[in-house]
Structure 1
Amino acid sequence: MSGAWGTSHASGTQARFAVYYAPSYASAWWQAGCAWLGRDAQTGDDCVRPQPPGLTRPLAALTDAPRRYGWHGTLVAPFSPGADIRQDDVLDAVRAWALTQQRFALPVEAATLGDFVALRPADAHGDARMREVAASALQALDTLRARPSAADVARRLAAPLSERQRALLLEWGYPYVFDEFRFHMTLSNSLADAAERTTLLAWWRQRTPELGPLAIDQAALFVEPAPGEPFMLWQRLPFRGEACRE
């Protein structure tokens, strides 16, 4: 299934691509996440947000950063394609990789990750399975990406990174891969106010059991059409096997 960003876009633009996990379009998880962020990244439509009780600010003020990226969990972080790589090359490679992956159900929980609120795997087994999926995607698709510029590398190296993360950045273009990867679906901006984090966390801890496990049954190819623009879900690419329960 394709989204609002169409195949008519020419290669050689400033578009960046990302390989994300996104719940299926018809699922309650997709509807809940898009409503929370106020935007459906597949259609480009705005969504009516909930307003968790106890917030002193509108939810929009607490979620504008993840709203730009759309409802997702990262598998391969945004990258610019190499000079000779067309958008159809990206699509074909991600489709082929997705067909090597087996579907499974992932129990999740809401948690605070530093100053953020996010969904994450509910146990170590789920965390390890998602790390395997992301590592497989990164290795399979590495030849698609342009190598980062010296300025991009310097910018990232200026952040507080461990020696391991610095080494991963230099080799793979991103510091949070392989053993440093932690699957999550971001639910908030970085929030200094602990009370706001607690309020958002309480809302999602009540909602998550109703929604059940995530069905890890597809990858989603997202596109940032130009620097700073909202990411759009371009193509959904199914994993192999029988549909798993959501």
Structure 2
Amino acid sequence: MTRRMARYALYFTPSADSAWGQAGSCWLGRDTRRPDTAEQVSIPGLPKLLLASLTSEARRYGFHATLKAPFRLLDGFDETHVLEMAHAFCAEQNAIVLEQPCVRPLDDFLTLQVSGPLDEIGGLAMRCVTYFDLLRAPLSSVELARRRCTGLTARQEALLQRWGYAQTEELFRFHMTLSDALTQVDADVVYALRKAAEQHFAQTAAMAPLVLDGLTIAREEFPGAPFIEWQRIAFSAQDKRATLPSSGRVFFCVGPSGVGKDALLEWVQQHSSASDRAVFARRVITRPAHSNEMHEVVDVATFWQLAAGGQFAMVWQANDFCYGIRRGVEADLKAGRDVIINGSRAYIPQLRQAFPDATVIWIEANENLLRERLEARRRETGPALLKRLKRGSEFIAPDEPQVIRVDNSGPLEVAGQHLLKILRS
């Protein structure tokens, strides 16, 4: 099975080694870190096979509370983006002590519920739903049909269309599922199951508080596979107010051919540090790479297939070639990382629509130097060279605060230090 078939869910799961983690694993008969089953609790008067059948679907998901329902990744995103955003998200969240955990029915299921603090829990869940929705692929027709099979209200249908799941916003109810649907189960069996669950989890509640203290990324490798705890990331905001991560900034670097953009950006990248939290976007271009470039090479047909599939955050054409920036940069921005892009002056109007707060770095050099550099690199001669030079004079830097001019007529280090200072400001 390929990773494209995988689904990811954002859960709260107690640490597997904690009293609550062990109690949940024992009740369902499965440790969420592994796909196989473990020893399940014994209930007097209830055969083990019957207990296993009453908890089979709950066991597949593991002992958890849903914060964002399972989703497939939208084309253009991968697991590195999930992790990057998850770490940024968890750094801004506080642990929540859950009050009075107890066993209660929810619709046709047996669940573990809490009495509070409901506003804090709901706020965390909604931050999770909205923040990670960038990564979510739309539901397929089969998935939509499955979620509608029980019948939805108009409000639930609206939430399903918006978030891919109906039980969000004001309909969210924090719970940890302990059984499958019990509609066709004998009342005496349901009673025995509930009493056993109450006793089982009351003992755990007497031992340790239940604390919502981290985010678990669970992964379903293929339809019907058990959800496995892939990553569990602790909340670390501590005493500050829980919020969403601040977005990173877009720096769109432009300039005429021969101005030395590639060399300048390479210098800045080499002199950047991890603390700068900067991403230098790799371009997709329909021409071969040169010795001083590291772009991704594709042919024209492949380029437009990628574009039609939503793989690009930005697309433009210049000098008879197609350029694209893969949409993974959107996840970088959500995770608070600045994105530096080697761009095109002609694309600035579209940039303003897609990223209104983007800063344009307008790199320039004197005209004679531009010609010398173009001639020295020997990519074009004759009419092609004249066309490059003519295009270079067709654009004038706008006089506005979001456009910063950098002169690259002198030593590379001088312009590099200037640009590095801008990026760190």
1:157 and 2:148 equivalent? yes
The match for 2:33 is 42
SS in 1 for 2:113: strand
Letter in 2 for 1:187: L
1:111 and 2:95 correspond: no
2:12 to 1, 17, 21: 21
Q: Who is 2:79 aligned against? A: 87
CA RMSD of aligned residues (A): 2.0
Higher relative contact order (CA closer than 8 Å, sequence separation 6+): 1
Deviation of 1:71 after TM superposition, in Å, equals 1.4
Counterpart check, 1:222 vs 2:214: no
Indicate yes or no: 2:84 matched with 1:69.
Answer: no
Q: TM-score, normalised by structure 2?
A: 0.52
The more displaced of 217-226 and 46-55 is 46-55
SS of 2:89's partner is helix
**Structure 1 contact 112–197 (Cα < 8 Å) conserved:** no
Which of 133, 143, 161 matches 1:170?
Answer: 161
Structure 1 or 2, whichever has the larger Rg, is: 2
Structure 1 228/203 Cα, relative in aligned 2: closer, same or farther at 3 Å? same
CA contact (8 A) 2:94 2:236 kept: yes
Residue 73 of structure 1 contacts residue 186 of structure 1 at CA under 8 Å; is this kept in 2? yes
**Conserved? CA contact 1:116–1:197, under 8 Å:** no
Deviations along 1:198-240, one digit per CA (max 9) or x if unpaired, are 2122122223232223111111000001111111100001111
Q: Distance in 2 between matches of 1:174 and 1:222?
A: 17
Q: Secondary structure in 2 aligned to 1:77?
A: strand
Give distance in 2, aligned partners of 1:20 and 1:94: 12
For structure 2, the 5+ residue unaligned runs are: 239-425
For residues 23-70 of structure 1, what are the alpha-carbon distances to aligned partners after superposition, in whole Å with 9 as ceiling and x for unaligned?
A: 012201111111211111213343111111232563212110111111
Unaligned runs of 5+ in 1: 1-8
Q: Distance in 2 between matches of 1:187 and 1:152?
A: 23
Aligned to 2:139: 148
Q: Distance in 1 between matches of 2:80 and 2:171?
A: 30
Give the match for residue 200 of structure 2: 207
Paired residue secondary structure (1:133): helix
Hey, what does 2:254 align to over in structure 1? none
Give, as a single letter, the amino acid of the residue that structure 2 aligns with 1:162. Answer: T
Query: Aligned equivalents of 1:82 and 1:134: distance in 2?
Result: 21
- The match for 1:233 is 229
TM-score (norm 1): 0.87
How many matched pairs?
Answer: 232
Q: How far does residue 158 in structure 1 lie from its aligned partner after superposition?
A: 4.3
Give 1:193's match in structure 2, choosing from 186, 197, 202: 186
